[in-house]
Structure formats: C-alpha cells, structure tokens
Structure 1
Amino acid sequence: MITLHYLEHSRAQRVLWLLEELELDYQLVRYRRDADTGLAPGSLKTIHGLGKSPVLTDGELTLAESGAIVDYLAQRYGAATLLPERETAEWWQYVYWLHYAEGSLMPPLLMRFVFERVRQAPMPFFVRPLVGKIVAGVNKAFLDGQIHTHLNFVADHLSCHEWFGGTRFGAADIQMSFPLEAAMHSPALADRFPRLRAYVNAIQARPAYRRALKAGGDYRYGPDI
C-alpha cells in the first residue's frame, strides 16, 4: 500500500495530485503545522530523519524529496501516460524541468517568502522600519530581478509549448506546479505574466487536481511574493 505523509500547505499537495492522476490506491497520513512556528511537527521525524514532507512509503521503500517521489511514481506507475519516451529530446526536457523546479525556480521564491516572514515577525516598533528597509533593499537588489528572469524564461517556454513535456500533460507539469502556483498567488505577478496565470488555471481545472484538493483539504501557497 502506498502511504503519503502529507503536511498541510506544502509540496506534498503535488504528490497527492499525482496519485490522483494515476488513480492509485493510497492512504493519507495528515500532519498539521505548528501554530507558532509554522513548521512541520516533530512526529514527522519518525518517518524520515529530516522531518519534512512529502514522504512516500510504497511497500519497503521510503522516499523523500518531491522531485524524487514524482519521478518514482511516474516511472513505476505512469510511464505510458505521464512520461515521454526515454532518451528522446522530450525525455531530457522532462528531466530538465523536474530538476529546474526546485533547483532554480524555487530558491528565489523561497527567499522572498522567508524575508516576508521576517518583515511580518513581531519586533520592537523602533526596529520595524529598519527591517522593512533591509527587506526592500534585498528585494530590489536581487530577488525581484531573479524572480522576473525565471518567470520570463518559463513564460517563453510556455508561449510555444502547451505543457512542459511538449504536446501532452505529464509529470513535469506536476513538479512545476508548486513554484508557479506560489508565484501566481501574487496578483502583481499574475497580471505581469498572463501566460503563466493561464497555465496555472489550466492545471487547477484538471479533475484529478480537484480530487486532490478535496482529499487534502485547504491548501495555501504562502504569502504574496
């Protein structure tokens, strides 16, 4: 039996969506974030040493990292439907986007998330203006440019491809969903990148995606970036 250890409001949502796309039997073990820190509960460390989600178990196999889980499920259960033919140009595009999502696109988005958390954290009133200036300076000097460069790159690809794997929906789209949903959660970015907004609307309209939302419950992408 496949078991997904599912932390609310996390990357585990796309793994749950993949399970629904594959129409596999699975069980869901839910975890709530700590109310004070927003982090995963310590109980997740009994499943995987890092205490993070998603974690998937399939028989004797325990696997973490969403990219590895997406790749495993797609190759074992969905090669005919969610993957291109191996060793083709489309296959290497799949491999590229599988790694790009977390290796290149997500880091500046995550940094923006962290700095936003810092800006909103409780602090003495006389410190807040200084912290606000530091956050604004980092955004202007580095993060804004990096985020826009990456989103322009992705939008250019989608301007001539319907899906990340080429002509059909596949596992690369599931892996890319989390950072793009996070980005399009910002109204300013959604307005600036209408192709990305249309893409996110398209994946969110898929029946399996809707089933995953129903199975997983409320799903938030984080603060505006």
Structure 2
Amino acid sequence: MLVVHHLGRSQSERIVWLCEELGIPYELKHYTRRADNMLSPPELRALHPIGSAPVITDGAVQIAESGAIMEYVIARHGGGRLALPPEHPDYPNYLYWLHFANGSLQPAMGRRMLIGRLQLPPEHPVRAMMEERLDRQLRFLDARLGAATWLAGEDFTAADIMMGFPLTTMRHFAPLDLGPYPNILAYLQRIAARPAYARAMAKGDPGMDLLLT
C-alpha cells in the first residue's frame, strides 16, 4: 500500500493531490508541525534522515522530495497519466514547468521571505534585487498562463500540481500579493475548480485558508 506521510501546510500536499487526481488507493498519515519552531515533529524526522515532508513509503520503498515522488507515483501507480511522453509536442514545456516551481520560484520566494525577516529596508540593494528577481519570475509565469490553459499546454499535468504549492500554501509563510498577475489568479481559479484538488486539501489540511486569490 502506498502511504503518504503528510506534514500539515507543506509540499506534501502535492502528493495527496496527485493521488486524488489519479484516483489511486493510498493511506494518508498526518503529522503536525511542532508548536515551538513549526518544523517537523520527531516521528516524521525519524522516518527520513532529512526530516522534512513529503515522504512516501510503498512496501519496502521509501522516497522523499516531492518531484521525485511525483515521477515515482505516476510511473508505478498512475500508468503514466498526468505526465507527457517525450514524443508529445508539449513535452519540453511539461519538463520545464515540472521543475520550475522547486528550481526557480520557491527558492526566490524563500530568499525574499528570509530577507524580510532580517527587516532589511525596501531600498537595500539586496532586498531590491530579490524583489526584482521574484517579480521577473512571476511575470514570466503570468505570461505563460496567458498563452496556455495549463503550464504544459492544454492538458493538466503534474507540472500544475507542482506549481500549486508556491502559489497557495507557501504564501502562509511568505506573503505575496498576486494582484499584479491576473493570469496567475485566473489559473488559481481553474485549480480551485478541480474536484481532486478540493478533496486533497479537505483531507490533508482541513480548515486551512487555501489562498486562491
């Protein structure tokens, strides 16, 4: 049985959503963040040396990292659904955007969050550089979503599941006004309309504000 070890308000929501989209059986184990530092509890840290979510177990297999888990679940349990094959004309877009969330957008949001906590003034050159870099990435993403319904093209894929977290739940930790990016906001409404997304968030983080605007 595939077991999704889910830490509340974390990237592991992606794996719950993936399983719901694929309609595959899985067991969901919830973990609550520590009250003193909001990090993983000891029982999750004991599961994997890095001590962060997501983690899945599948029989004797244990895997961390949301992107790696995504590819594993799609290949082993999803029959390749929600991925595009290399011969598909949108495969390059799929591959690029599958990795954009963790490779570009989340690091930029994380750096901005840390700089904000250091209370650097807005005119500080480092803060200004980080703000400009994040805005450049968001404008790029907004342009893509103005040209295509979903990130890879007209097909909803795992790339969209990867992108959901930084645009929604991560904003609980790194507040971000998406008002200047209307295509991103419209995209979030398309995500909100997916029944599998609603089911996943209700199971994984019941009662959490989903930050879809």
Distance 2:170 2:11 in 1: 14
| Residue of structure 2 in register with 1:107 after alignment | 107
Q: What TM-score do you get using the length of structure 2 for normalisation?
A: 0.87
- 1:161 to 1:47, Cα distance in 2 relative to 1, 3 A: same
| Residue of structure 1 in register with 2:137 after alignment | 150
Q: Which has the higher helix share?
A: 1
C-alpha deviation, 1:7, in angstroms? 0.4
| Residue of structure 2 in register with 1:192 after alignment | 180
Unpaired segments of 5 or more residues in structure 2? none
C-alpha deviation, 1:188, in angstroms? 6.5
Does residue 13 of structure 2 align to residue 3 of structure 1? Answer: no
| Residue of structure 1 in register with 2:197 after alignment | 209
Distance 2:101 2:79 in 1: 20
C-alpha deviation, 1:85, in angstroms? 2.5
On the 8 A contact 1:112/1:139 being kept in 2, the answer is: no
| Residue of structure 2 in register with 1:126 after alignment | none
Report 1:15-54 matches (<5 A).
15-54=15-54
Distance 1:214 1:221 in 2: 10
- The farther-off stretch of 84-93 and 213-222 is 213-222
How many residues of Structure 1 are paired with residues of Structure 2 in the alignment?
209
C-alpha deviation, 1:108, in angstroms? 1.2
Partner deviation per Cα, 1:13-43 (whole Å, 9 max, x = no partner): 1111111111111111111111111111122
What SS class does the counterpart of residue 192 from structure 1 fall into? coil
Distance 2:122 2:42 in 1: 30
Distance 1:85 1:163 in 2: 16
Distance 1:109 1:81 in 2: 30
| Residue of structure 2 in register with 1:70 after alignment | 70
- The farther-off stretch of 139-148 and 99-108 is 139-148
- 1:94 to 1:198, Cα distance in 2 relative to 1, 3 A: same
Largest Rg, 1 or 2:
1
Residue type of the alignment partner of 1:57: T
Partner deviation per Cα, 1:165-206 (whole Å, 9 max, x = no partner): 211111111011112225777887321001001101211221
Q: What TM-score do you get using the length of structure 1 for normalisation?
A: 0.83
- The farther-off stretch of 181-190 and 14-23 is 181-190
Partner deviation per Cα, 1:90-116 (whole Å, 9 max, x = no partner): 223222112211011110101222334
Q: What do you get for the CA RMSD once the two structures are aligned? A: 2.4
Partner deviation per Cα, 1:54-100 (whole Å, 9 max, x = no partner): 00111221110001111112223334531223243422322211221
Residue type of the alignment partner of 1:165: A
| Residue of structure 2 in register with 1:181 after alignment | 168
Residue type of the alignment partner of 2:69: I
Unpaired segments of 5 or more residues in structure 1? 119-130
Distance 1:221 1:42 in 2: 27
Give aligned-pair identity as a percent: 37
What SS class does the counterpart of residue 63 from structure 1 fall into? strand
Distance 2:6 2:59 in 1: 17
